[in-house]
Amino acid sequence: MVHTVNDTPMCAEPRPPLTRADLKADRPTWCPGCGDFSVLAIYHKLLEKKNLPQESIVTLSGIGCSSRFPYFVNTHSVHFIHGRILPFATGLSLSRPDLHPIVFIGDGDAYSIGGNHFDHCARKNVRLMVVVMDNQVYGLTKKQTSPTSPVGFKSKTDPWGSKVAPINPTKKLVSSGATFVARTAASNPNHMLEMMEAALEHDGFSVVECFSECVQFNPGSFDAAVPRKGGSYPPVPADHDITDEEEAYALTREPFPGYFGIYYKVDRPTLNETETGLAADPVSDSDPDAVRSRLEASLRRLT
């Protein structure tokens, strides 16, 4: 039995709140101990906490270990091709303002094969939330160098140790115009939830750069950011002005593990906003006669 939404108001009857059971889907296929489990658990928690209508959430991903994400959460979901999920999500975000598209991708998708799209989504300020699960290695293909692998990282494609400088994700994001840039780690679930919540609430292109350890191919990579392993998890200083681009750059220059928290957050018109205001008196498909008259008028000018 299928009803159109127009016939039956979707939220007419009161609904029980969204629970973890509602969101549970396939059993994750990640290796035991993978940081991605923690990101998934926090995503479930975020959705429970925000209690959005389940059908309005769209979980999207590219290709990689982290991008298996959509199968493990029970929402409308898309597992797209490598590198292109950001423009895909752009098309969805622009054409369906009623939905909540949330993207989970890895460092390969975000900063290598799809790097160009990251710059342009940021510049255009597409209304979209992105979580980059950065493990500094290509895990699904079993240990090749990633764009965030540090110099000296030994992999199957750099057995002598990587010789090229990695990308600095937060610096790149601030410079390309992202209006929300935050940094967190899967090892700190409470902080991760706080950052994701802030990102979801931001009206614009919001990115959470999130360390997520690959225990199989890059173990111990983020120990310096884990206090119980002798590292430190320095929060963004309390006096940091999140609207100041220069201050944000200063944070991005800190040596590893750097600061965790919101680096940058400004308000700028979103692409979604600027695209909707382009015609003075648009007609709607719900009024077919108006659509035909509009087209008729355009064609009359060519007679």
Partner 1 sequence: MTSSRENPAGTAYTAPETLNDAVIRIAGNSQDGIQSVGAMLARLAGRSEMEVMTYMTIPATISGGPSIFQVHMGSGRVLSAGDAADILVAFYQHSYDDHLESLRDGGVLLYDSTNVEPDLDVLRERRITPVPVPMTSLTIEILGGTGKKKGKNIFLLGLIAQTFRLDMDKIRRLLAEVFGHKDESVLRNALLALEGGYAYSIGDMLSFFTFEEPRLAEGEAAVTKVTMTGNQALAYGAIAAGIRFGAAYPITPWTEVMEQLRCDLPGYRGSFIQTEDELAGIAAALGAAYGGVPAMTGSSGPGLALKSEAISFAVMAEIPLLIVDVQRGGPSTGLPTNVEQSDLNLALHAGHGDAPRVVLAAANVEDCFHLVIEAVRIAHEYSVPVIFLSDQAIATRIEAFPFPDLTSVVRFPGAMPVIADSYKPYSLDRITRHLPPGSRILDGKYPNVTGLEHDESGHPSANSKVHMAMTAKRRTKLEVLAETLPCPEVRGPESGELLLVGWGSTMGVIREAVDRAAAKGACYSAVHLRYLNPLPPGLEELFRHFERVLVVEMNDRDTNGCGQLARVLRAQYALPHVGGITKTDGLSFRIGELLSRIEETVDSRPSAAGPPAEPANFSH
Interface residues with partner 1 (CB under 8 A) are 1-6, 8, 10, 22, 25-26, 53-56, 58, 70-71, 74-81, 83-96, 98-99, 116-117, 119-120, 271, 275-276, 278-279, 281-285, 288, 291-292, 294-296, 298-299, 301-303
CB of 181 to partner 1, least distance (A): 20
CB of 129 to partner 1, least distance (A): 15
CB of 141 to partner 1, least distance (A): 15
For residues 115 and 150, which CB has a smaller minimum distance to partner 1 in the complex?
115
In angstroms, the Cα distances linking 232 to 16, 128, 138, 235, 263 are 41, 31, 25, 9, 18
Instruction: Find out whether the peptide bond into 257 is cis, omega within 30 degrees of 0.
Output: yes
For residues 41 and 99, which CB has a smaller minimum distance to partner 1 in the complex?
99
3-class state of residue 190 by DSSP: helix
For residues 119 and 223, which CB has a smaller minimum distance to partner 1 in the complex?
119
CB of 84 to partner 1, least distance (A): 4
Task: Read off the tokens for 148.
Answer: 């965030």
- What is the gyration radius of the CA atoms in the chain, in angstroms? 21
How large is the angle between the packed helices 85-95 and 115-124, nearest 10 degrees? Answer: 30
CB of 119 to partner 1, least distance (A): 8
The answer to whether the CB of 106 falls within 8 A of the CB of 67 is: yes
CB of 15 to partner 1, least distance (A): 10
The answer to whether the CB of 164 falls within 8 A of the CB of 171 is: no
For residues 58 and 133, which CB has a smaller minimum distance to partner 1 in the complex?
58
Which residue type, as a one-letter code, is found at position 198?
A: A
Task: Read off the tokens for 195.
Answer: 């950052």
For residues 151 and 295, which CB has a smaller minimum distance to partner 1 in the complex?
295
Query: Which residues face 59 on adjacent strands?
Result: 77, 102
- As a whole number of Å, the end-to-end CA separation of the chain is 47
Backbone angles phi, psi at 79, to 5 degrees: -110, 95
For residues 2 and 165, which CB has a smaller minimum distance to partner 1 in the complex?
2
